[in-house]
Amino acid sequence: MDMHALTRELQQKNITKIVMLVADGLGGLPLSPGGKTELETAQTPNLDALAVRGVQGLSIPVKPGIAPGSGPGHLGLFGYDPLQYQIGRGALEATGIGFQLQTGDVAIRCNFCTLDEAGNIVDRRAGRISSEESAPIACSLRQITIPGVEIFVEPVKEHRFVVVFRGQGLGGNVKDTDPQATGVPPLQPIAADSASLRTAQVAKEFLTQAGKILHDQKNANFHTMRGFAARPNLPSYQEVYGLKAAAIAVYPMYKGLASLVGMDIVGNATTLDEQLQVLKQKWNDYDFFFIHFKYTDSTGEDGNFLEKVRRIEELDACLPQLTSLKPDVLIVTGDHSTPSYLKSHSWHPVPTLLVSDCCRPDPHQTFGETTAITGGLGQFEAQYLMLLALSNAGRMGKYGA
């Protein structure tokens, strides 16, 4: 059974506030057996104080053994079955820069690249040209016209930009043209299903025209297309949970994800401190706040154990600003683990802490991967976390008579 069929039926109005603080890639690994993880190494007096009042456990992002990308990782936390709902990278990126995708749009991540005279890729990122240099070149592609298709071109950062095709009969299933190698030419866009044949044709025509427009550029004399994706059809937080929800994030991808489930993107914070100021400003306007903290993931991906520890301590130090608002339900979790030992997203379940006046506290006095094993939440699939949030917030009635 779809959990949203339940929450649609059981949701109740209340004035309670829920905060979900997502430390991206929070879970980690010790560097050697018997050692401590990043979270266990960090000095986290505020998290530990919350652990005393709260209940912890391990969140399985998708299924045991599955390492998720950011999309499925967040969908799970937001309560959307990540195996049922899938978001393509292009759709994520477009939404993340504030582009309002419509149903039927196909979004594509594009990278400027450098071709040699033979047409082979010399640099897959066009020398990582600056955003200042790249943006006008991307905008020059807006002159491209293809009959029957509305085309949007939006600069992102450095060598990256987004293209969106809007029109009838455009499927999102087209293969990347980036060969992931240099010394070879870009690939042709090839449809991976019959519903996407026209998209592939449109993309091919776009690339042909782009090649002519970009021909005389020094570095950015061509571009690749990756992550073709139609807009996913996700029901909104308002509809499935009855929550007016706000997202306070720094990075485009997480803003994009939140907006796909109907959260408002609020503020323009660039630091955690600023994010918490936005939280304070918007406190009376929303029922639910998603706060995204990126650096526990990026330091993990860098393989920088000590820097990840430091970022966790930074997060901990900001918590009093959050708890002073007295959220009725506070959740601290991650969308997946990013152990610095692996330098990548991993499948390990994520330490998760829930605090409310009616959670059933477990005996733990600290918060970490090892204590979470025997925490009161047990091991659970992330997609159930929102049910716990709603119930702890007095926002869900009982099921059945």
Within 40-59, which residues bind its own copies (CB under 8 A)?
52-53, 58
| Binding residues with its own copies: total (CB under 8 A) | 71
Q: Counting contacts by CB under 8 A, is residue 292 touching its own copies?
A: no
Which of 20, 21, 29, 163 contacts its own copies by CB under 8 A? 29
End-to-end CA distance of the chain, in Å? 18
Closer to its own copies by CB, 88 or 189: give it. 88
Q: Which residues pair with 27 in a beta bridge?
A: 337
Q: Report, in Å, the least distance between residue 381 CB and its own copies.
A: 8
Closer to its own copies by CB, 115 or 350: give it. 350
Closer to its own copies by CB, 164 or 278: give it. 164
Closer to its own copies by CB, 221 or 337: give it. 337
Q: Could you give the CA distance from residue 220 to residue 235 in angstroms, rounded to a whole number?
A: 39
Which of 20, 42, 92, 261 contacts its own copies by CB under 8 A? 92
* Pattern 328-367, its own copies, x by CB under 8 A: -----------x-xx-xxxxxx--------x-xxxx----
Contacts of 365 (CB under 8 A, 6+ apart): 48, 51, 52
Closer to its own copies by CB, 65 or 147: give it. 65
3-state secondary structure of 378: strand
Q: Which two tokens stand for residue 95?
A: 């939404």
Q: Report, in Å, the least distance between residue 223 CB and its own copies.
A: 19
* Pattern 368-397, its own copies, x by CB under 8 A: -xx--xxxxxxxx---x-xxxxxxx---xx
Q: Counting contacts by CB under 8 A, is residue 215 touching its own copies?
A: no
- Cβ atoms of 227 and 89 within 8 Å: the answer is yes
Q: Could you give the CA distance from residue 244 to residue 288 in angstroms, rounded to a whole number?
A: 6
Contacts of 347 (CB under 8 A, 6+ apart): 61, 64, 65, 66, 67, 336, 337
Q: Could you give the CA distance from residue 167 to residue 148 in angstroms, rounded to a whole number?
A: 6
Which of 25, 41, 88, 267 contacts its own copies by CB under 8 A? 88
3-state secondary structure of 59: strand
Site for its own copies in 62-81 (CB under 8 A): 62-73
